[in-house]
Amino acid sequence: MKSVTVTAVDGGAAPTEVLIGRTITLKAAAVYGDGSQVETPTVEWASSKPDVATVADGVVTGKTAGSTIITATVDGVTSPGLTVTVAPVPVETVRITSTVNQGVEGSDVTLTAEVTPDDATDKTLTWESSNTDVAAFTKTGAPAGGKILTLLKKGETTVTVHAGDQSATLDFTVLGLDVLTVTATARQGGQTLAVTEAIGTDLQRRYRITGADAKPTVAYDTVCATADGWLAWPENGEVSGTEGQVATVVDVTVKGANARGKGEAVLPAPLA
């Protein structure tokens, strides 16, 4: 025998790269003195670094990133070494699988994402919010492939998830109460309330007067029903309370009385 050559299965140039967890197949040909070749003879395959890649029956399997030298020996004749590089399986795509794109301030939403291919070597997800005043990733404990987004205040943000060189985005809306600017001035026998902001479309205004330690808790979508003590807004803004009480003013939906705005003012003493 004159020599041994290592080629691709089709006889072309041997592949020199394999991804972690994947395989390439090589073929050995024995070349004799008369120029004849015997393909796929009995071959003893070897890898110089089996921790990087193993080889059996010509099938090279990537194990860890690095390089190794593959040789084929036939009847005591060894081929020139073929350097094979083992590389990580790259991320091809990442997509956000969560269907939710809005939530109420003060709550948490778990977002999830999916990476392909399944055997990507590093499927680590990195999440970020473009407006951390509105929503931020500050908590742990989400399931694999997910991240907890804390909704801080009304507004818009863009969520981006990164995996390898790939990324995906989601426009997210945080729903919250509009802030109403309420003032209270003294008048004879009571007070006059005024709100700077106009009442929005499909909204109505209501109010309640309570002690400072008994102010109602109102969040986005809270139902502010008249049955719970909420009163229709007086056209002239005139109310009757005692000094130190708090007037809580809300703008609510016409249908359902769900809160969309809130403000408050401390009542002064009525004029005598």
CATH number at residue 50: 2.60.40.1080
Q: Which pLDDT score, from 0 to 100, does residue 2 have?
A: 80
Q: Do 170 and 111 touch, CB atoms closer than 8 A? A: yes
184/171 same-domain check? no
Do residues 83 and 99 share a domain?
no
Query: Coil, helix or strand for 52?
Result: coil
Last residue of a domain, one of 36, 59, 87: 87
Q: What is the domain range of residue 13?
A: 3-87
- From the list 177, 174, 199, 256, the residue with the least C-alpha distance to 223 is 256
pLDDT for 245 equals 98
Q: Where among 87, 111, 127 does a domain terminate?
A: 87
Helix (H, G, I), strand (E, B) or coil at 110: strand
Looking at the structure, tell me whether residues 170 and 114 fall in a common domain.
Answer: yes
pLDDT score at 1: 58
User: Which residue's entry shows tokens 């860890």?
Assistant: 64
Q: How far is CA 83 from the centre of its chain?
A: 40
Is residue 272 one of the residues assigned to a domain? no
Together in a domain, 7 and 78: yes
pLDDT by position in tens, the chain (length 272): 589 999 999 989 999 999 999 999 999 988 887 777 776 668 999 999 999 999 999 999 999 999 999 999 998 899 999 999 999 999 999 999 999 999 999 999 999 999 999 999 999 999 999 999 999 999 988 888 899 999 999 999 999 999 999 999 999 999 999 999 999 999 999 999 999 999 999 999 999 999 999 999 999 999 999 999 999 999 999 999 999 999 999 999 999 999 999 999 999 999 98
Domain boundary among 33, 68, 87: 87
pTM: 0.78
What local confidence, expressed as pLDDT, does residue 38 receive? 72
DSSP 115: E
Q: How many domains does one find in the chain? A: 3
**Domain co-membership, 14 together with 36:** yes
What is the separation of C-alpha 243 from the centre of its chain, rounded to a whole number of angstroms?
Answer: 50
Q: What is the CA radius of gyration of the chain?
A: 36
Q: Does residue 54 sit in the same domain as residue 70?
A: yes
Pairing of strands 102-104, 166-175: parallel
